[in-house]
Amino acid sequence: MLEVSPRTIPIARPDLGEEEAAAARRVILSGWITQGPEVATFEDEFAAYVGTTHACAVANCTAALHLALHALGVGLGDEVITVSHSFIATTNAIRYCGAVPVFVDIDPRTYNIDPGLIERAITSRTRAILPVHQVGLPCDILPILEVAARHNLPVVEDAACAIGSELRVQQKWERVGKPHSLVACFSFHPRKLLTTGDGGMLTTLDPELDRKFRVLRQHGMSISDTTRHLATTVVFEEYSMLGFNYRMTDIQAAVGRVQLKRLPALLMRRSKLASHYTERIKGISGLIPPHVPAGVRTNYQSYAVQVTDQYATSRDQLMRKLLEQGISTRRGIMNAHQEAAHTDLAHSDLTCSQVARDSVILLPLFAEMTLEEVDRVVDALIP
Ligand X SMILES: *Cc1c(COP(=O)(O)O)cnc(C)c1O
Under DSSP, the state recorded for 160 is T
Q: Count of alpha carbons within 13 Å of 379, Cβ hemisphere only?
A: 9
Among residues 35, 62, 306, 335, the one that binds ligand X under rule CB under 6 A: 62
Contact positions with ligand X (CB under 6 A) in 210-249? none
Min CB(90)–ligand X separation in Å: 5
Q: Is 332 in the site for ligand X (CB under 6 A)?
A: no
Q: Is 35 in the site for ligand X (CB under 6 A)?
A: no
The per-type count for the chain, helices as H runs and strands as E runs, is 11, 14
Min CB(132)–ligand X separation in Å: 5
Q: Is 14 in the site for ligand X (CB under 6 A)?
A: no
Strand, helix or coil for residue 161? coil
Min CB(105)–ligand X separation in Å: 16
Using the minimum distance from each CB to ligand X, give the nearer residue, 247 or 280.
247
Residues 268-300, buried b or exposed e (16+ Cβ, 10 A)?
A: ebbeebbeebeebbeebeebbbbebeeebbbbb
Q: Is 87 in the site for ligand X (CB under 6 A)?
A: yes
Whole-number Å distance between alpha carbons of 184 and 209? 12
| Stretch 111-150: interaction string toward ligand X, x if CB under 6 A | ---------------------x------------------
Using the minimum distance from each CB to ligand X, give the nearer residue, 52 or 86.
86
Among residues 66, 189, 214, 270, the one that binds ligand X under rule CB under 6 A: 189
| Stretch 89-108: interaction string toward ligand X, x if CB under 6 A | xx------------------
Pairing of strands 100-104, 79-83: parallel
Q: Is 86 in the site for ligand X (CB under 6 A)?
A: yes
Strand, helix or coil for residue 257? helix
Active site (annotated) includes residue 192: yes
Q: Which stretch binds ligand X (CB under 6 A): 13-21, 82-90, 336-344, 346-354?
A: 82-90
- What's the CA angle centered on 57, arms 251 and 237, to 5 degrees? 90
Min CB(25)–ligand X separation in Å: 24
Q: Which amino acid, residue 26?
A: R
Among residues 42, 52, 56, 60, the one that binds ligand X under rule CB under 6 A: 60
Applying CB under 6 A, the site for ligand X has a residue count of 14
Please say whether the beta carbons of 45 and 260 come within 8 A: yes
CA distances from 345 to 16, 105, 111, 342, 350 (A): 40, 15, 21, 6, 13
Whole-number Å distance between alpha carbons of 43 and 37? 10
Which one of the listed residues 192, 272, 282, 321 is annotated catalytic? 192
Whole-number Å distance between alpha carbons of 182 and 230? 32
Q: Active-site residue numbers? A: 192
Which positions lie near ligand X, rule CB under 6 A? Answer: 60-62, 86-87, 89-90, 132, 158, 160-161, 187, 189, 200
